[in-house]
Amino acid sequence: MHSKLPKSSPKAIIYEDQILYVCLATHPITHGHVVIVWKKDVPDLHRLAERDYDYLMDTVNSVRNAMLKALKIRKVYLIYMDEVRHVHWHLIPRYNEKGFDMFLHKPIKVTDFSLVLKIKRHLVFN
């Protein structure tokens, strides 16, 4: 794995296979902020083969659905940013805030990994 993203704690890993991994964000902007990271160095989504893109998006959907149930929320923002030139998605729970207000939160290093098991329990792949 040659990811340009910061290493996450093994305790933060929700799911992992040979292609990608899912983990709690190292410095979440909200409680339950999850990151899905493509393991191979791929600088942008448009460079993924169609089957790889489909696999990534199926994983994003499965994790989002698990987050909705585990966190008892109605909305998870799916955010793709390529600031580090490496394919990854941010899945950010929306609580009772309006729009972009959650982006005003100061990220704090995650120390509580109890959500990992809660999300895993609801994780179903189609």
For residue 41, the 8-state DSSP code is -
**Per-residue model confidence (pLDDT) at position 20:** 96
Give the Cα separation of 122 and 43 in Å (integer): 30
At 1, is the pLDDT very low, low, confident or very high (cuts 50, 70, 90)?
very low
Q: Please give the share of the chain, as a percent, with pLDDT higher than 90.
A: 66
Element (H, E) at 37: strand 34-38
pLDDT digits (tens, 9 = 90+) for 85-122: 889 999 999 887 666 677 777 788 888 899 999 999 99
pLDDT digits (tens, 9 = 90+) for 43-70: 999 999 999 999 999 999 999 999 999 9
| Mean pLDDT computed over 18-22 | 96
Is residue 60 within 8 Å of 91, Cβ to Cβ?
Answer: yes
Q: Which domains does the chain have, with CATH numbers?
A: 10-122 (3.30.428.10)
Residue among 51, 32, 29, 10 at smallest CA distance from 115: 32
Beta partners for residue 22, in sequence order: 15, 36
pTM comes to: 0.88
Give the Cα separation of 101 and 98 in Å (integer): 6
pLDDT digits (tens, 9 = 90+) for 28-42: 988 999 999 999 999
| Mean pLDDT computed over 80-88 | 85
